[in-house]
Structure 1
Amino acid sequence: MAHLLVGDDDVVRIGFVVSKAVGNAVVRNRVKRRLRHLAREHVSTLPGSAVLVVRALPAAAQASYAELGTDLDRCLQRVRP
């Protein structure tokens, strides 16, 4: 689980679930790295002390960085104040 600092005491916790259905270890780790980097770009817009779980579906293995970013942004719209 990644702990991303927002403010002084506010920490946003984001967990990534990438199952073996996504691909082998190399593919799963690539998807996690991409999602982690994308999540850092959005962390300042999330409410403080938020806890999120991001589950990657098998299609994430073939998705481009831009496609993952668009999907993550669409999902985070639900949590933003």
Structure 2
Amino acid sequence: MPRPHRLTDAESFRSAVRRGRRAGSKSLVVHLLPGEDSGPARVGFVVGKSVGPAVVRNRVKRRLRHLARESLRELPGSAVLVVRALPASAEATSSELGDDLRRCLSRVLT
């Protein structure tokens, strides 16, 4: 993920989760907060310990990062997107994660 598109500050995560639109599936929950400024869209990931041990969490994060990179051009302006992985994401294949991410994104973008 290119540096300008990374979401790193806790306040942006918090505001996207609290004030953004939300859509969920069996393996993911997506929060989208439309941006107020003219910067690039930013994406952040939350993969908790309930997903599995560190190896599994890192594998899920890598897959999600790759899938989200492909979806960056669909995001409006300076939107903030938070993707939260649920425990089912540990057993999901990359194509299943991609389908869930696309389905959730289409719901929050409409």
Q: TM-score, normalised by structure 2?
A: 0.64
Q: 1:28 aligns with which of 57, 61, 82?
A: 57
Match of 1:67 in 2: 96
The whole-number CA distance in structure 2 between the counterparts of 1:18 and 1:36 is 12
Alpha-carbon distance between aligned partners in 1 of 2:44 and 2:108, rounded to the nearest angstrom: 15
Determine if the alignment matches structure 1 residue 53 to structure 2 residue 82: yes
- Matched to 1:44, the amino acid is R
Bigger proportion of residues as helix: 2
- Structure 2 Cα separation of the partners of residues 19 and 54 of structure 1: 11
Q: Does the residue aligned with 2:109 lie in a helix, a strand or coil?
A: coil
Deviation beyond 6 Å, 4+ runs, structure 1: none
Q: Which residue of structure 1 lines up, in the alignment, with residue 45 of structure 2? A: 16
CA distance in 1, matches of 2:101, 2:58: 17
- What code does the residue aligned with 2:5 have? L
In the aligned structure 1, how far is the partner of 2:66 from the partner of 2:55?
17
Percent of aligned pairs with the same residue?
66
CA RMSD of aligned residues (A): 2.1
Give the TM-score normalised by the residue count of structure 1. Answer: 0.86
Paired letter, 1:55 = R
Q: Which residue of 2 aligns with 1:4?
A: 5
Distance 1:3 1:27 in 2: 26
- How many residues are matched? 78
| Structure 1 unaligned blocks of 5 or more | none
CA contact (8 A) 1:3 1:14 kept: no
1:77 aligns with 2:77: no
Distance change in 2, residues 1:79/1:3 (3 Å): farther
